[in-house]
Amino acid sequence: MFQIRLQTPADAIAVETLNDLGFGSNRHGRTVWRFRQGPVADGLALVAAGLEADTPLATLRFWPVTIGGIAPALLLGPLAVCPTRRGQGMGRALVGHGLSKARDLGWTLCLVSGDPRYYQPYGFSSADPHGITLPGPIEAGRFQVVELTPGALAALDGLADRTLQPWRWVRADSTSALSAA
């Protein structure tokens, strides 16, 4: 049994350990890691923790990004589960809970770099047909998108540049466009 809760500062070492176990220390060299240097999206840093010890057994974070420097979106990941606890539903519970919470917080789009078979049940599909690109190398088919609000992808119509950018790259004069989107 486990509970899903927000990460706390006391979870920092456990979260890093889970990410090291899940992805290795070389994860910092991956293209998607550049987008995880700023702050985590408010209310979207989650852990699945044991009921008795309250120790993080799985972790998931969402990061604010933009598409073309204008359209706000989330980047899901990394999702990491303690190797001895895999297959018990923690990762799936975190993803489902996190996407629901993101929707409740008003986010309209979410992207992920991951196994399509894992994320397809949540509605993710290839970002390629929508022209959304991740700058840098990524395995074919792994960059995916899901609408958290129906019509969110159609809202990108007319947006010439659909390159994913870290939130921190957004210029101060474009923040009004983000809040209006």
pLDDT over 50 (residue 170): no
- φ, ψ at 119 (rounded to 5°): -95, -15
pTM for this predicted structure: 0.88
Domain assignments of the chain as residue spans, ordered by start: 2-180
Cβ–Cβ contacts within 10 Å for residue 71, how many?
21
Rounded mean pLDDT, 112-137: 95
Class of domain 2-180: alpha beta
Query: 44 near 101, Cβ under 8 Å?
Result: yes
Query: 44 near 102, Cβ under 8 Å?
Result: yes
pLDDT over 50 (residue 74): yes
* pLDDT (0 to 100) of residue 27: 65
Q: Output the CA torsion 20→26→27→31 (10° steps).
A: 180
